Structure formats: structure tokens, C-alpha cells
Amino acid sequence: MFIHPNLAGHTNELLSQTPLGVPLGVPLGTSLLHAVTTGTAGLATGLVIRCLVLAIAAVGQITRRAFRITPVEGMPGVPVAMLRAMQFITAVVALFVPLAAGIYLLTTVTWTLGQRLVRRRVYG
């Protein structure tokens, strides 16, 4: 929904909305890659997307430390270093997708971490 400028023959108003409706905020349809290539990247855009990417990376780091991945638990034949780095791929993806999708990714990785922590506590 945050990629297409038109939905069902109407202008996609979601692209111009800002998180929490903050005036002069960064529109949800803004991606860092698009803003940089079109020359529309401002201080606010860089700051918001940088904070988002850092938050995703922080959750990835917490997940990596809380759940040490070993070759037995991971995918057989895949190096452990690659399995550990996969926690941070989401942060890299957030640089290329619209801000709304980046917020969704942050929500998803945070929710998943919470689920894993609860599951570990309940099931040991």
C-alpha cells in the first residue's frame, strides 16, 4: 500500500501522511534511497530513518545475544557467522523500503523478540 501512488483509481493519501500525524514530519511513503536519489533527503528524513534503522539493529543485537545460535539449532551447512548476521539484514532492508514498511519491520522484530522471550520463560 505504500508503494503505489494510486489505489483503486484514487490518489494514495497514505503516502503523504506522517507518523502519528506530526506536522512537518517525514511522510510514510519516503524511503532513504528514493530521497537521496531525487535530492529530497533533508535532515529530518535522515534522522528519522537513521533512528529507525538503529532501533531495528538494536533489537537484532538483543535477539542475537539472548538467543545464541549454534550450528545445531540453525540451518545445517550454513556458517554460524552468517546465521548471526541475519539478525541485521532487516535493518539494511529498512534503508530501501518506505518509512511505513520500516516501522512495520521494527514492530515485527520487536514483537518476535518478545514472543521468543515469553516462550523461553514458559517452556524453558
Residue spans per domain, the chain: 6-123
Q: Long-range contacts made by residues 68-76, C-beta under 8 angstroms, separation at least 24?
A: none
**Residue 74: what are its φ and ψ, rounded to 5°?**
-85, -160
Mean of pLDDT values over 35-60: 90
Single pTM value for the model: 0.80
pLDDT of residue 57: 94
In tens, the pLDDT along 84-106 reads 777 789 999 999 999 999 999 99
When pLDDT is cut at 50, 70 and 90, the band that residue 82 belongs to is confident
Average pLDDT along the chain:
84
